[in-house]
Chain A
Amino acid sequence: MSEDSRGPLDAVRRLLPGFALLVLIATASVLLADAVPGVNALLLGVALGALVANTAGVPDIAQPGIRTRKLLLETGIVLLGARIAIDELVASGPMLVGAVVATVVASVAFVELISRRVFGLADEMGSLLAAGASVCGVSAATTIAGTIDADGESLTHVVAAVLLFDALTLAIFPALGSLLPLSGQQFGIWAGLSMFSTGPVTAAGFAHSDVAGQWATVTKLARNSMLGVVALWYAVHYAGGRTDSLASAAEGVPRFLVGFGLVAAAANLGLFDPETLSIIDSASGALFALAFVGLGLGVRVDSMRKTGVAPVVVLAAHLVAVSVVSLGLVLAIF
């Protein structure tokens, strides 16, 4: 960054156009969803964002502001900590952690197996697909690519395939949620165990119900926190446990979990009154609305078309297998 772009006014000028676009589309989504019964504002925000990005296009000047979407999402999750009842979490905790660990381990093994033995993909491509599908989508694939020093082209294909399934599952899971006789907790945990990336999981959960949104987010955060362990395993597997790989594995643990835990602890200690909790809730919802519009604006149909067939088939097989098995698991124990 050049020295003259470090001033506060430069930062505002750089971020304002994209941020204004996020606010504009999010506001339109909320107003439209209020006017049309049965339409969810968060999902509509993603759809409108994708529509704008793939028709009118997004000007370069708006890109820096739109790239704040992940920060907005993670800050929204930190604030969501205020809605987490730790006693409920502790009650379901051991079963939830068991379900997450079992799902991630089985998912990694399944994708590694079919990508190499059935589809004959290169080892690195299989590992990127396994991490992306099993842990936390693009972030996991990117972290593992750094850990195992994968080539850029493999990562590009995997990222495109993951984004394709993020878009598909964001449409399919809420529809299935309205058809299947699942409680909010069951649907949230199911989505949190099965879908790939944090943003779509959170959006699908809240599209079902507030309770589902909270459980989907908590389940997904538990999965995300497995990234360090998975990265560590790949570092040992590929590089014989080099120190730099181990260090990059430790980098894989999402830092916003610290903020989520702090806010959840403060809320459960009774530091916030009900009015404050309601305001924090609204702020979290507003951050999610902006982040999900950004998620839609990041959808590129053209780049998804360039994805090879094999990665898409591997992820489809994984999604079907994990969704079916985790649905059975959720129905049996939650």
Chain B
Amino acid sequence: MRGLLSNTGPFARLIGWWHSLDRGWQATTLGVVLVSALSVVGP
């Protein structure tokens, strides 16, 4: 768990990738992920 949350772990790399996107692409990514998740678990 500590490795996952470390500053060099996969989540840190994901955050690094997230910051490399501009805000419009972040919104598109977050929106599509949210819609996909809601359509799977929502009903």
Contacts and interface: CB of A to CB of B under 8 A. Distances in A.
B32 A263 contact: yes
A259 B12 contact: no
A37 B16 CA distance: 46
Given A82-B35, A276-B43, A75 B30 contact: yes
Contacts of B38: 276, 279-280, 283
A10 B24 CA distance: 23
Interface stretch (A113-121, A144-152, A265-273, A304-312): A265-273
A237 interface: no
Given A78-B32, A263-B31, A279-B38, A255 B43 contact: no
Interface in A62-83: 70-71, 74-75, 77-79, 81-82
Contacts of A258: 24-25, 28
B39 A259 contact: no
A8 B12 contact: yes
Contact of A262 (B16, B26, B32): B32
B35 A8 contact: no
Nearest to B28: A259
B7 A7 contact: yes
Residue in B9, B11, B24, B32 with the greatest tally of chain A CB atoms within 10 Å: B24
B31 A70 contact: no
Contacts of A4: 7
A9 interface: yes
> Is chain B's interface secondary structure helix, strand, loop, or mixed overall?
helix
Contacts of A75: 26-27, 30-31, 34
Contacts of B15: 6-8, 11
A332 interface: no
Interface string A3-32: 110111111000000000000000000000
A279 B39 CA distance: 9
A4 B43 CA distance: 40
B11 to A, nearest CB: 4
Contact of B35 (A3, A9, A263): A263
A256 interface: yes
Contacts of A6: 7, 12, 15-16
A259 B11 contact: no
B16 A77 contact: no
A254 interface: yes
Interface of A: 1, 3-4, 6-11, 70-71, 74-75, 77-79, 81-82, 254-260, 262-263, 266, 271-273, 275-276, 279-280, 283
5 contacts: A3-B7, A10-B7, A81-B31, A276-B39, A280-B39
